Amino acid sequence: MQKRKLGKSNLEVSALGLGCMGLSYGYGPATETQQAIGLIRTAFECGVTFFDTAEAYGPYRNEELLGEALSPFRSEVVIATKFGFDFDAEGGQSGMNSRPDHIRAVADAALKRLKTDVIDLFYQHRVDPNVPIEDVAGTVKDLIAEGKVKHFGLSEAGAQTIRRAHAVQPVAALQSEYSLWWREPEKEIIPTLEELGIGFVPFSPLGKGFLTGAISETTSFDSKDFRNIVPRFSPEARKANQALVDLLGRIAAGKQATSAQVALAWLLAQKPWIVPIPGTTKLHRLEENLGGAAIVLTPEDLRDIEEALSAITISGDRYPAHLQARVGK
């Protein structure tokens, strides 16, 4: 697989990473441990060198899983993890916490869970309104100086926060949602990243599964599946958004590819410093997704997609209101 550099940071990773959240959290029951380890190691064998996790995924279980799965080839991969939440006794998020002492404690705990002596990319998971971003960036800067962290990242941050953080400690990457059905970052975020030389790591590049074509208005999700509370996944919204999936299917047929592969190829074609991190629990989906890195969309293809998309209105908010309130700060 081809490599890409995340902005001016010189952090080089595979063109597609692996988002590991769904193996432990968010989409129903956790994947059996050995099966999950097998999938992560298969991804590495297929050329993936960029793996994304967070203390919040479980919590903690996902970091432990990656630590075990990646330990045989730790020096050959880049691990990204995140800080920024408190958790209650049941493991639920009980509020944001990016106080400097908490960031330090999370870093030390994550190093143990990941079985490593350095975190390659340490993201603030969500902007904490109670802690100045300069204090957050300064704390990570200190952790970098101490050799515990290599690079600093932000997730779902707004343009002004990115600028303020970057002035204290260069931000290597921003991780936010971006895909054919969530293009909000094109307005302000992507131009800001380009100006500052920051890489972009889109999560949910397949629209939380919707862009694969495997989900219809009649699909039912596990009771623990996050998508049950997402307005964009209401049956009515899924029915309305089917036009986008149909469009992808037509383009994919012409490329002898799948809808998922075209959706990933479209992201890769936007900027050379964009590295999507699709997640999956299934080996055949992993192999399909990685095939997206080999699909080349011509300028004509991209114009055709743009023209067709302009006639489609996406229905439904991407988050319920209480979660939307955490982003873009």
Provide the annotated active-site residues. 57
What does the block give as tokens for 291?
């095939």
State how far the alpha carbon of 148 is from the alpha carbons of 38, 135, 143, 313, in Å: 28, 17, 5, 45
Within 13 Å of residue 98, how many CA atoms lie on the same side as its CB? Answer: 24
Alpha-carbon gap, residue 203 to 226, rounded angstroms: 15
| Spatial contact of 290 and 47, defined as CB atoms under 8 Å apart | yes
CA atoms of 264 and 20, how far apart (whole Å):
17
Structure tokens, 147: 């050799």
Residue 75 has what DSSP assignment?
G
Token code pair at residue 205: 């590049």
How many C-beta neighbours within 10 Å does residue 170 have?
18
Q: Give the tokens for residue 51.
A: 């793996």
**Residue pair 222/22 in contact by the 8 Å Cβ criterion:** no
